[in-house]
């Protein structure tokens, strides 16, 4: 008790500002970090954009979160985009990135300065590495330490960080479609694992659409050299070889993940959409590990043609499925609620479609036997923790590299990147759910055990979180 009180007294004097990148996955993982730090008695301000705050207010349970954690406060700044500007789809990330960098920078600085009267005043910034330059600049200006948080996978962060070497050794750029299967050798910690097609999506495409996003993402990764350390949502048993390489470059590397698997964090506290919990009731009536969960995350959009290929593939596989089709998921003008309704009509026999699911709870449900995913990092970790094997259909950012690790390094699923036709979908579903079921379930469950071990007392992420807590106290003294 004395020790707890001592810690409370000590950490209670520190006020940590968390600034997530303005995307669902980033907010989800940083919200878990916020909870964990609040449990360690820090005073926490969780700063989101007005747009996100409105969503959280409507669809997430931030009210009860504030009650559970009286030392966790929510504040907002503008992301600089008009209210009706799309926040999903192919250009959303680039738009958010540039508008945050131009508009949000002075707002963030002013916000921190305006808090000098706060009790206690802000002593440390944990800023999303997506906004690496912005957060490092502002921290310098106001004179507080910054630690970067990366919501993407360690493998993607590292591959982006190493981009200049890849250009130097002539392994980049990718020279067109016929070059896609060439093996990349010059990535320390992951030599000869990736093909060109497995590199982060920023490396793809023609010179004109490649250079800008690549430059800014690589640029922001290098900004982490200015931070006191970097926090990654991964664990030693998953990414050990990469983490050892990163420790040669960065001052401190805190591998504290999977964040949502630490005891006492709560699921579903930060959804931007209304969760349709009826799918949990539907799952209750399905046989053990019989259902494939299908979701492409919060940002990816698909054309109507592709959606139909998935639909036919799923239906022809004769397996049960639970499919998330977000209201804004179908690209272009075909996007309309009728798409989901039409598919649903033809799906009733074995399928269930929702607009947004309570994903952590879905993946933990005993009826789930597989996950057809776009390989976003949060989805990947959530699947690993639940011991659910994956079929990966990556779209952009870190998804291409995550899916390669799922299939070739961790061997917990299949990678169908760059393919989208009904026969492939049908075959992959049957391979995962029938022919190679035991093999995949066994390796997925073994990885889940390691994940849980890492966040339990004595585990690597458990200790790393403790190190982070001590580090924040000493860095912000």
Nearest to 327 by CA among 137, 82, 132, 88: 88
> What does the binding site for ligand UDP look like in residue numbers (CB under 6 A)?
23-25, 28, 271, 295, 297-300, 324, 356-357, 359-360, 376-379, 382
Cβ nearer to ligand UDP, comparing 137 with 398: 398
Calculate helix-pair angle for 422-430, 304-317, nearest 10 degrees.
40
The stretches of 294-393 forming alpha helices (DSSP H) are 304-317, 337-345, 359-363, 377-386
Cβ nearer to ligand UDP, comparing 24 with 224: 24
What is the spatial distance between Cα 264 and Cα 423, in angstroms, rounded to a whole number?
43
What is the spatial distance between Cα 437 and Cα 442, in angstroms, rounded to a whole number?
8
Asked if residue 182 has a cis previous peptide bond (ω within 30° of 0), the answer is no
How far apart are CB 297 and ligand UDP at their closest, in Å?
A: 3
Cβ nearer to ligand UDP, comparing 14 with 87: 87
62: Cβ contacts below 8 Å, ≥ 6 apart: 56, 74, 269, 270
Cβ nearer to ligand UDP, comparing 42 with 405: 405
Cβ nearer to ligand UDP, comparing 23 with 138: 23
As given in the structure block, the two tokens for residue 356 are: 């947004």
As given in the structure block, the two tokens for residue 268 are: 């579903």
How far apart are CB 354 and ligand UDP at their closest, in Å?
A: 7
As given in the structure block, the two tokens for residue 104 are: 């949000």
Cβ nearer to ligand UDP, comparing 137 with 360: 360
User: Quick one: CA dihedral 149, 155, 158, 164, positive or negative?
Assistant: negative
How far apart are CB 267 and ligand UDP at their closest, in Å?
A: 8
How far apart are CB 444 and ligand UDP at their closest, in Å?
A: 17
How far apart are CB 119 and ligand UDP at their closest, in Å?
A: 33
How far apart are CB 198 and ligand UDP at their closest, in Å?
A: 17
What is the spatial distance between Cα 64 and Cα 421, in angstroms, rounded to a whole number?
44
3-state secondary structure of 270: coil
What is the spatial distance between Cα 29 and Cα 457, in angstroms, rounded to a whole number?
21
Closest residue to ligand UDP, judged by C-beta, is 376
Residue 312 dihedral angles phi and psi, to the nearest 5°: -65, -45
Half-sphere exposure at residue 459, Cβ-oriented, CA atoms within 13 angstroms: 24
Cβ nearer to ligand UDP, comparing 153 with 454: 153
As given in the structure block, the two tokens for residue 385 are: 């923790």
How far apart are CB 332 and ligand UDP at their closest, in Å?
A: 19
Cβ nearer to ligand UDP, comparing 60 with 144: 60
How far apart are CB 312 and ligand UDP at their closest, in Å?
A: 22
């Amino acid at each position: 008790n004395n020790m707890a009180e001592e810690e409370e007294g000590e950490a209670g004097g520190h006020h940590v500002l968390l600034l997530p990148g303005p995307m669902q996955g980033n907010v989800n993982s940083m919200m878990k970090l916020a909870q964990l730090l609040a449990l360690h008695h820090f005073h926490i301000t969780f700063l989101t954009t007005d747009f996100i705050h409105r969503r959280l207010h409507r669809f997430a349970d931030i009210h009860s979160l504030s009650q559970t954690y009286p030392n966790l406060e929510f504040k907002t700044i503008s992301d600089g985009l008009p209210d009706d500007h799309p926040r999903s789809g192919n250009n959303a990330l680039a738009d958010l990135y540039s508008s945050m960098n131009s508009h949000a920078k002075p707002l963030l600085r002013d916000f921190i300065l305006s808090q000098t009267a706060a009790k206690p005043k802000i002593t440390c910034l944990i800023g999303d590495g997506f906004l690496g330059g912005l957060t490092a600049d502002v921290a310098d200006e106001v004179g507080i330490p910054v630690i970067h948080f990366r919501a993407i996978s360690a493998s993607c962060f590292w591959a982006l960080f190493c981009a200049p070497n890849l250009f130097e050794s002539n392994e980049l750029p990718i020279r067109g479609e016929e070059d896609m299967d060439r093996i990349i050798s010059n990535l320390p910690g992951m030599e000869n694992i990736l093909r060109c097609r497995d590199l982060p999506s920023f490396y793809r495409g023609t010179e004109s659409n490649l250079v800008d996003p690549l430059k800014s993402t690589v640029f922001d990764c290098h900004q982490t050299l200015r931070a006191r350390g970097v926090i990654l949502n991964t664990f030693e048993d998953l990414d050990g070889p990469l983490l050892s390489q990163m420790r040669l470059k960065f001052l401190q590397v805190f591998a504290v993940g999977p964040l949502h698997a630490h005891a006492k964090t709560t699921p579903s506290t930060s959804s931007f959409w209304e969760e349709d919990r009826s799918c949990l009731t539907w799952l209750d009536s399905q046989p053990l590990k019989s259902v494939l969960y299908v979701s492409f995350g919060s940002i990816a959009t698909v054309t109507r043609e592709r959606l139909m290929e998935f639909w036919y593939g799923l239906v022809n596989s004769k397996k049960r499925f639970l499919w998330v089709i977000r209201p804004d998921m179908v690209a272009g003008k075909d996007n309309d609620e009728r798409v989901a309704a039409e598919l649903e009509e033809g799906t009733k026999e074995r399928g269930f479609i929702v607009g947004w699911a309570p994903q952590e709870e879905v993946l933990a449900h005993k009826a789930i036997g597989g996950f057809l995913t776009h390989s976003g990092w949060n989805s990947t970790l959530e699947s690993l923790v639940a011991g659910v094997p994956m079929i990966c259909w990556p779209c952009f950012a870190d998804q291409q590299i995550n899916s390669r690790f799922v299939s070739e390094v961790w061997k917990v699923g299949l990678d169908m990147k760059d393919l989208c036709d009904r026969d492939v979908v049908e075959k992959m579903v049957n391979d995962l759910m029938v022919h190679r079921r035991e093999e995949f379930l066994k390796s997925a469950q073994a990885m889940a055990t390691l994940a849980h071990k890492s966040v339990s007392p004595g585990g690597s992420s458990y200790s790393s979180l403790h190190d982070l807590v001590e580090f924040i106290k000493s860095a912000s003294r």
